[in-house]
């Protein structure tokens, strides 16, 4: 496997990607699930770092369990994902998926159902980890040079990655001097290609 990862080092660039909130838009599903528990959410309250401050812990846990415990959710691909991954492939820009999904088989099933598993992501360029700092450990063997995530705490933990991007498709985070904020895949792609 390490020999296979040398291709990432030889490329000189490797893009690391988060899954939830970056590849998949769960905002409407979070709103639906919160309402199941009697809570009303605005779409701008659905990013992971914000929803934790809005919902009580027990409700948040119920939403997360249902959202991440099954691939039968109605989350959509974020606009521009497929186009960007096709461009990366065409230009031989390696990319990896590093996700904190607790049940990898559910994540893989969701990726497969949306045409991403096998075509863009495989066991060779995907890692499932537990904590934000584990994303850094997973990024190192791939020589990740650019990372796209929707959580500041994760970007803070990526000490080995030189270029970190905060994905803010809803425009809810203030400008951050530490990370380049991007609102779309096209905007992110323009920093890579």
In angstroms, the Cα distances linking 180 to 116, 145, 174 are: 26, 14, 11
Return the pLDDT at 104: 95
Q: Are residues 97 and 160 in the same domain?
A: yes
The DSSP secondary-structure symbol of 72 reads -
Q: Are residues 114 and 88 in the same domain?
A: yes
By C-alpha distance, which of 160, 154, 152 is closest to 178?
A: 152
Return the pLDDT at 1: 38
Helix (H, G, I), strand (E, B) or coil at 113: helix
By C-alpha distance, which of 147, 155, 117 is closest to 13?
A: 147
| Sequence-ordered strand ranges (E) for the chain | 15-17, 24-25, 76-77, 95-99, 126-128, 146-149, 163-167, 180-182
Alpha-carbon gap, residue 146 to 17, rounded angstroms: 9
Residue 80 burial by Cβ neighbours in a 10 Å radius (0-12, 13-18, 19+): middle
Return the pLDDT at 9: 59
Which residues neighbour 175 within 8 Å (Cβ) at sequence distance 6 or greater? 181
CATH of the domain at 162: 3.40.50.1000
Alpha-carbon gap, residue 49 to 51, rounded angstroms: 6
Q: Are residues 40 and 119 in the same domain?
A: no
Helix (H, G, I), strand (E, B) or coil at 173: coil
Q: Are residues 139 and 97 in the same domain?
A: yes
Q: State the residue range of the domain holding 146.
A: 2-24+77-192
Q: Are residues 150 and 55 in the same domain?
A: no
Residue 2 burial by Cβ neighbours in a 10 Å radius (0-12, 13-18, 19+): exposed
Q: Are residues 141 and 172 in the same domain?
A: yes
Return the pLDDT at 2: 41
By C-alpha distance, which of 149, 155, 152, 186 is closest to 167?
A: 149
For 171, phi and psi rounded to 5 degrees? 65, 40
Digit-by-digit pLDDT tens for the chain (193 residues) are 344 555 655 658 999 999 999 999 999 999 999 999 999 999 999 999 999 999 999 999 999 999 999 878 888 999 999 999 999 999 999 999 999 999 999 999 999 999 999 999 999 999 999 999 999 999 999 999 999 999 999 999 999 999 999 999 999 998 878 899 999 999 999 999 8
Alpha-carbon gap, residue 21 to 189, rounded angstroms: 17
Q: Are residues 112 and 87 in the same domain?
A: yes
């Amino acid at each position: 496997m390490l020999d296979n990862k040398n291709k990432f080092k030889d490329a000189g660039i490797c893009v690391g990607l988060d899954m939830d909130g970056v590849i998949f838009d769960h905002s409407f599903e979070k709103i639906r699930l919160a309402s199941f528990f009697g809570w009303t959410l605005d779409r701008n309250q659905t990013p992971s770092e914000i929803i934790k401050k809005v919902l009580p812990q027990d409700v948040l846990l119920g939403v997360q369990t249902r959202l991440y415990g099954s691939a039968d959710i109605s989350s959509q691909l974020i606009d521009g994902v497929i186009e960007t991954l096709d461009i990366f492939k065409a230009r031989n820009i390696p990319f990896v998926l590093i996700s904190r999904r607790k049940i990898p088989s559910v994540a893989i099933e969701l990726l497969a159902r949306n045409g991403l598993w096998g075509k863009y992501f495989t066991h060779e360029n995907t890692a499932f980890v537990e904590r934000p700092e584990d994303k850094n450990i997973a990024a190192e063997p791939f020589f990740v040079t650019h990372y796209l995530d929707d959580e500041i705490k994760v970007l803070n933990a990526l000490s080995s990655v030189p270029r970190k991007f905060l994905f803010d498709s809803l425009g809810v985070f203030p400008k951050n001097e530490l990370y380049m904020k991007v609102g779309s895949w096209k905007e992110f792609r323009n920093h890579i290609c």
